[in-house]
């Protein structure tokens, strides 16, 4: 890759090799076409469910997951998402 050190222009390699010979240097990058990305419009929930009341719409089922948001010696925070309205809240119990 071209790099400037002081007022000198150098070609450098990730292995540490450097050269000041710039004449005849050609940079090439080969582009590889990857797969097309599939877009899914509907919300697919693969999380476990529990019976708990949503504080927003009072529906009785929600998805839940746990995240260690505090120190390792403290309990994880339980997040819940209402199955009906999508409202997300925390349960610290």
pLDDT on residue 92:
77
Q: Are 79 and 87 in contact (CB under 8 A)?
A: no
User: What is the value of pTM for the model shown?
Assistant: 0.52
The catalytic residue among 23, 66, 74, 91 is 74
Residue 6: inside a domain: no
Residue 14: inside a domain: no
Residue 59: inside a domain: yes
Residue 24: inside a domain: no
Asked about 74 being catalytic, the answer comes back as yes
Q: Residue 81's domain spans which residues? A: 49-91
pLDDT on residue 44:
66
pLDDT < 70: residue spans in the chain: 27, 30-31, 41, 43-45
Question: 13-20: long-range contacts (C-beta < 8 A, 24 or more apart)?
Answer: none
Predicted confidence (pLDDT) per residue in 51-76, tens digit: 999 999 999 999 999 998 888 898 88
CA dihedral 13, 20, 28, 26 (to 10 degrees): -160
Say how far apart CA 52 and CA 16 lie, in whole Å: 59
Asked about 91 being catalytic, the answer comes back as no
Residue 23: inside a domain: no
Q: Is the dihedral of CA 68, 69, 70, 71 positive or negative?
A: positive
Say how far apart CA 75 and CA 92 lie, in whole Å: 8
Residue 13: inside a domain: no
Structural domain count, the chain: 1
The catalytic residue among 38, 61, 73, 91 is 73
pLDDT on residue 23:
75
**Which CATH number does the domain housing residue 61 bear?**
2.20.25.10
Residue 74: inside a domain: yes
pLDDT on residue 50:
94
Residue 37: inside a domain: no
């Amino acid at each position: 890759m071209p790099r400037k050190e002081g007022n000198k222009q150098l070609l450098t390699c990730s292995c540490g090799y450097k050269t000041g010979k710039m004449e005849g240097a050609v940079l090439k990058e080969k582009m590889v076409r990857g797969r097309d990305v599939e877009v899914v419009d509907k919300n697919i929930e693969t999380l476990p469910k529990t019976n708990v009341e949503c504080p927003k719409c009072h529906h009785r089922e929600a998805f839940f997951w746990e995240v260690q948001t505090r120190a390792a010696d403290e309990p994880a925070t339980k997040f819940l998402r209402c199955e009906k309205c999508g409202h997300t809240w925390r349960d610290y119990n």
